[in-house]
Each structure stands twice: as structure tokens, then as C-alpha cells.
Amino acid sequence: PPPPPPEHKRNFCNAHCLEQWAFFLQVKESVVNNSETVCIIGNIYTCCDDMPRADAAVIEGGAFAFVGSAEAARAFAPDARVVAFESGIVLPGFIDGHTHAFGGKMSELYMAHLNEASSLAEYGEIVAQFVAAHPEYDVYLGMGWSNGMFDDHVPTAQWLDRIESDKPVIIQSCDWHAYWVNSAALRAAHIDRNTASPAGGKIERDAAGNPNGCLRETAMNLMIPIIPRLTLQQYKTAILAVQDMFLRLGITAYMDMVLNFDASHEVFDAYAALDAENKLKMDVFGGYLIDSDDDPDAEIARACELRTQCASHRFKLTDIKIFVDGVVEGGTGFLLEPFETDTSYHGENRWADAESQKRLQHVIEAANRAGFSVHFHTVGDAAVTVALDALYAVAQKQGTNFQNPARNALTHLQMVTPDQIMRLRLQNILAVVNPYWFYKESGYHEVELHYLGAQRADREYPLRSLLDAGVRVSMASDYPITPDPNPLLGIQTGATRSNLAGDPDSQLDPNECATVEQLIRAATIDAAYQLKTERTMGSIEPHKTANFILLDRDITTCPPLDIAKARVVKTFVAGKCVYSAT
């Protein structure tokens, strides 16, 4: 439908004056039928610059047709059925810009889950119970151990051997950047003292040079041949389970990154099949990993094939994922200044030599030419430089004047210098941040202080500096690295830089706090921009898909420490209620 006249768009009343709408409240229902015209009435935060707040929105055919005042909405659609939300706040549906959705849910459904454990003894109990419960398994998988749980930050095979010595045990770390394996797994993968660490990876060893049971970064790939594959139905079950969780949290679209992480392509088929069965209720964007030792042209070609084969109404392969470095807690993040634990060691750069750097530029150029965005994992500040330099070289070669039509992005950004922040802005590179982590967690002293020292640890994870510099920032949970991907947790933590209780000792550089409104935008319209969908989703305005949520309180006015207490009452996708708490 055509947009309303400008005066209708701007003539809206106070969103809290519901009594002004009494004449207009015909029914108080919460199910929107796409075949009819419906007007929602409530306290609407639009994430639209022209009109941040509104009282009413008219929905036709699953899209917003009008947004403005209740009176103007009545004039625009006099026969519309009315749905009144008399409390709380209506927001655009949240968009998670970087998850490992199906993989995270797979680990919960089919593996030993260590995330909630708080001691090595609990690790042992969980693994032992899992082994005892599944005698039919040939390989035992798990996920969720933390480097900080071990005195030397390195788990050992001998520890797992006491639980299971005959069959392989492979447990992924909570950050997904290392495997903890037993001796049977090392034997099955033919890893011994003569096995060299691959480029960009590390086989941890004991004093005698023997592998001790910890494989980091690309060394994890050595386990791929012995990891059992899941069935198509198991993939579908995991996707539906994560969909239910996301809709309950008000997430209406997400990026599922590194779909080929286990060297298989079944998950692409699973997404396409679910959409064909009309079981995919939300938009999903996929990421395909290309590593430094891959053939770039062959991998881009394969990604193009998968994009064509699996493209559907709800699922699209849109991004190429690049790991530049690892993580600080594993000693594999790539830092400008050396680690506190080893003053001669700067971490791991997966694109270190000159040939690899040329190949990285080729990946960027080929991916963008093929229509993919490139999404860089950059934890350390040296890794940020590697990515920015490669992007700069490609832009110079193409003469694009840094317009970034591909929406290339850097994610995580644990260590970033002021100069790098300015480069992000000047090169128009997006920052995909994870504010869920932006406080001094319980393991802060064992991990950040241990590896970075106080001066660097206290200035990690800048946020306000990025926003003030004009960098486009989108929000992501990195689920299951963040076990609870509730966007409200990320918004509260980004606004307070402290734990959910607001403990002063947990606060990490309060000067980097963002506003609640900035974080809502990062989780909606700016995340949509990252995914090249800002014309169709991310805000409540005419012609956009009617993806929106109702919260039980107004998080833009409540005390910051109460934001995470808010609950999603209802979630709508294309005007249809897909989750209701009541």
C-alpha cells in the first residue's frame, strides 16, 4: 500500500495515554491473521530515525502499512481489527548477528554438556554419567569446558582416561576453540609426538614432547575423521529446538555461522527441508567457513553451489566466515603486544606468511564479487590489523572508495586500539559485538588478567568508543559461547558493563557503556543492515515485514538493572503470533 501522508506519519500522541484510544479499542486479542487488516495499539518503539515512537501500527498482508498515532491509524484503516497492548513496550523483532545456532543446540541434545559445571569434579561426573548412559556410542562427544578451570589452563588426556580409556572422548571447549580428548582419541586420529601442529593451530604437549590431550584452533581438524556424523533428522530436530528458544526470546532472525564446521553439508539440506515443510518460522542467514589452507576458488564455488541448492523463502547462505586468530583464554588470540605469560609470544595468526596474506585478499575479493559478505573473527588487536589491512588492499584495488556494499564485518573485537576504531569507521567496516561478555566475569582474574595483564584487560571490549566514532555496530550472542542468548541480557550488560546484579567489582570500564537505545538499535535495525535486510526488517515502519515483539515492561525507561528482568510476552513474524507466554 502507499505510505500515509507525512502529517499522518508524524501526528502521533503520547504512547502512554491509552485513554485517548478508548474509542478505538474494539477487541483485545493478540493473534494477527495475515488475511485481514489489523491495527496494533501500544507503546511502540520503532527504531526509525524519523519517528522513534508511535502509538499504532497497521498491518496488512504480513507487513506494516502505516505507523503513527491511533487517530491517524483509524483514518488510514477504519475497518481494521484492533489489537491493544495496554502495558509494556512493542519493539522490532530482535536479530542475532552471529550465532552457532544448530551446533549449540546439537551439543545440548546429543553431547555431554559441561557448561553449568563449576569444578573439575563436576566435569568428571557429567562425562562419566554420559558414558554410562550411552554404551552403544563408539565415540563420546561433549562441550563446555573452560580453560580457567585448570591450574595450567591445559586439560590432559590422562584425566579423561580415568573415565574412558577404550573409546575416543572428544570435548569441545566453551569457546569452541579447543578440543579436550583422551588417549583413545589421539590414537584413533593418529596423533603422536611426530605429528606437527598445523598452521594456525596448536597441539599442546607435555615436557617430553608428547601430545597431552588438548588441540587448539586448526589442530581440532585432526579429529574430524573420527567424529561421527549426525543424521538429517537430528539436524532438523536441533534447528527446530533452537528456533523455539529464539522465538521465546524475541529473536525473529539470526545468522548461523560456520555451517560447514564439521566438513559436512547436511545442515544446509536440513534448513532447506524444514522451510519446504513450512516448519521454519523465522529468517535464517548462513555463514560458510573458508580457512587459510583451503583452496579459495574451490570453496567459493562450493559456497555458491550450496547457496543455489538450498536457497529458500526463509534460509539463505549469505556470508563467508574467516578466522584470523583464536581466543585470549587459549593463548591463541593474535596480539600486538605479547602475552603476559610469554613475552616472546603474540598468539596465532592464521594468515601469517606473505602467500597467505595474498590468499586472504583473494578470498575477500572473490567472495564479495560472488555476492557474499565476509565476516572476520578478530579477537586480538593484531588480528584486527590483519583484517583491516586486507580489506583496505582489496578496496584500493577495486577503487570502491570504502563504500563496503558487501557489508564486510569484524566480530568479537576484544582488543581494539583507538586508531583501529577510526580505521573501522573510515573503511566502513561493521563491528559485530557481543556485549553479553562486557564485564568482569568470575574467571576474569584467571583468564584476562592472566594472559593480558591489568592494563590491557581493563580496556578490553570497547563499545561506546565504536559508537562515538560512527562505526555501525550490530549485536550478537555468539550462542552457545553465550549459553543464554537472550538479547535483554546483552542490552543490560552493554548498558551497565557489570554483571546482572550490578556488583561494582564486576564493572568493566564504565566509560564504554552504551545507551539502551543504542543497544536496541544494534539488536534490530543495525543487525538488519549487517545482513543487508534493512529495507525489509529491523524497524517498525511502512512496507517492512511485521516482525515485532511485546515486552512486559518498557526497557527504555526502567532502571538499567531491571532490563534483563523483562520478559517477552509475544513474538510476531510477518504479522503472525509465533510465540505467546500466555
Q: How far is CA 357 from CA 5, 350, 367, 391, in A?
A: 53, 9, 15, 11
Query: What pLDDT is attached to residue 149?
Result: 86
**Cβ contacts of 374 within 8 Å, gap of 6 or more:** 319, 320, 322, 363, 364, 367, 368, 391, 406, 408, 409
Residue type, 224: I
Query: For residue 152, what pLDDT band results from cuts at 50, 70 and 90?
Result: confident
- Tell me the helix, strand and coil percentages in the chain, rounded to 5: 35, 20, 45
Q: How far is CA 229 from CA 106, 112, 222, 265, 545, in A?
A: 11, 16, 15, 11, 37
How many CA atoms lie within 13 Å of 227's alpha carbon, on the beta-carbon side? 20
CA distance 62 to 547: 9
Please check the confidence at residue 403 and state whether its pLDDT lies above 80: no
**319 close to 438: Cβ distance less than 8 angstroms:** no
Please check the confidence at residue 156 and state whether its pLDDT lies above 90: yes
Query: What pLDDT is attached to residue 443?
Result: 83
DSSP lists the bridge partners of residue 342 as 339
**Lowest-pLDDT range, 18-32, 55-69, 142-156, 277-291?**
18-32
- Please write the tens of the pLDDT for every residue from 500-512: 999 999 999 999 9
Strand pairing of 430-433 and 473-475? parallel
Residue with cell 538450498: 310
CA distance 183 to 156: 9
**Which percentage of the chain shows pLDDT scores above 70?**
93
Q: Which triple of cell numbers denotes residue 207?
A: 615436557
**Which percentage of the chain shows pLDDT scores above 90?**
86
Query: What pLDDT is attached to residue 580?
Result: 97
The distance from CA 560 to its chain's CA centroid, rounded to whole angstroms, is: 23
**189 close to 226: Cβ distance less than 8 angstroms:** yes
Please check the confidence at residue 522 and state whether its pLDDT lies above 70: yes
Please check the confidence at residue 27 and state whether its pLDDT lies above 60: no
Q: Can you count the helices (H) and strands (E) in the chain?
A: 17, 22
**323 phi and psi, to 5 degrees?**
-90, 120
Please check the confidence at residue 6 and state whether its pLDDT lies above 70: no
CA distance 332 to 350: 10
Query: For residue 34, what pLDDT band results from cuts at 50, 70 and 90?
Result: low
Q: Which triple of cell numbers denotes residue 479?
A: 550462542
- Please write the tens of the pLDDT for every residue from 243-261: 999 999 999 999 999 999 7
Question: What is the arithmetic mean of pLDDT over 212-233?
Answer: 93
**Lowest-pLDDT range, 2-11, 161-170, 252-261?**
2-11
Residue 39's nearest CA partner among 5, 2, 72, 4 is 72
DSSP lists the bridge partners of residue 256 as 99, 286
- Please write the tens of the pLDDT for every residue from 102-126: 999 999 999 999 988 989 999 999 9
Residue type, 276: A
DSSP lists the bridge partners of residue 113 as 143
CA distance 369 to 297: 12
Question: What is the arithmetic mean of pLDDT over 317-344?
Answer: 95
Query: For residue 399, what pLDDT band results from cuts at 50, 70 and 90?
Result: confident
Residue 547's nearest CA partner among 535, 556, 537, 557 is 537
**Lowest-pLDDT range, 31-35, 238-242, 533-537?**
31-35
Residue with cell 606468511: 353
CA distance 254 to 333: 26
CA distance 478 to 527: 14
DSSP string across 63-89: EEEEEE-HHHHHHH-TT-EEEE--SSE
pTM value surpassing 0.85:
yes
Query: For residue 401, what pLDDT band results from cuts at 50, 70 and 90?
Result: low
Name the H helices within 98-180: 101-110, 120-133, 157-161
Please check the confidence at residue 96 and state whether its pLDDT lies above 70: yes
**Lowest-pLDDT range, 12-21, 246-255, 400-409?**
12-21
Query: For residue 465, what pLDDT band results from cuts at 50, 70 and 90?
Result: very high
DSSP SS3 for 245:
helix
Q: Which triple of cell numbers denotes residue 13?
A: 500522541
**Lowest-pLDDT range, 163-177, 226-240, 261-275, 504-518?**
261-275
Name the H helices within 94-213: 101-110, 120-133, 157-161, 183-188
Query: What pLDDT is attached to residue 35?
Result: 67
Q: If you average pLDDT over every residue of the chain, what do you get?
A: 92
Question: What is the arithmetic mean of pLDDT over 133-150?
Answer: 93
Residue with cell 558493563: 497
**Lowest-pLDDT range, 9-13, 297-301, 352-356?**
9-13
The distance from CA 390 to its chain's CA centroid, rounded to whole angstroms, is: 23
